[in-house]
Amino acid sequence: MMNGRKLWRLPEKGKVRGVCAGLAEYFDIPVLLLRVIVVLSLFFGLFAITITLYFVLGFVLDEKPQAVSEQEASSPAPGQLLDELARDMQRDEQRIREMERYVTSETFGVRSRFRQL
């Protein structure tokens, strides 16, 4: 595993068995780039190695479970998380300002004095 990630096949995103799509997701590179590299390796003397490795990975790697795919798809984007955090901070800042306004008001002072009696 690399950075806590697991290598899967992604047949729903792939062309043949989803090996390139899985490798591209694992290494966080565009699928098209990886496919171009595979095709070029076929033409530049690595035909047998490339075909053998591709089909071995195609049969050895497990398909990515739908639950993992759906969980990743449903997780919010970093921008959405930052927007939500900004809203929460604005709301909290407003509440702190209201508390500060109350604590520094004459009403708070009078109530505190009555409680001390």
Token pair, residue 71, equals 């969980």
Which residues on neighbouring strands pair with residue 5, listed in sequence order? 2
Give tens-digit pLDDT for 65-84.
776 555 565 677 788 888 89
Integer Cα distance of 32 and 77 in angstroms: 23
Structure tokens at 103: 């604590």
Structure confidence at residue 72 (pLDDT): 60
Enter the tokens of residue 45: 């003397």
User: How many Å apart are CA 111 and CA 106, to the nearest integer?
Assistant: 9
Q: Residue 1 — pLDDT band, cuts 50, 70, 90? A: very low
Q: How far apart are CA 105 and CA 91, in angstroms?
A: 21
For tokens 């959405």, what's the residue?
80
Instruction: Answer yes or no: are the C-beta atoms of 26 and 7 closer than 8 Å.
Output: yes
Q: Stretch 98-108: mean pLDDT, rounded?
A: 87
Neighbouring C-alpha atoms within 13 Å toward the C-beta of 68: 10
Domain boundaries, the chain: 1-75, 76-117
Taking the C-alpha atoms of residue 24 and residue 98, their distance in angstroms, rounded to an integer, is: 51
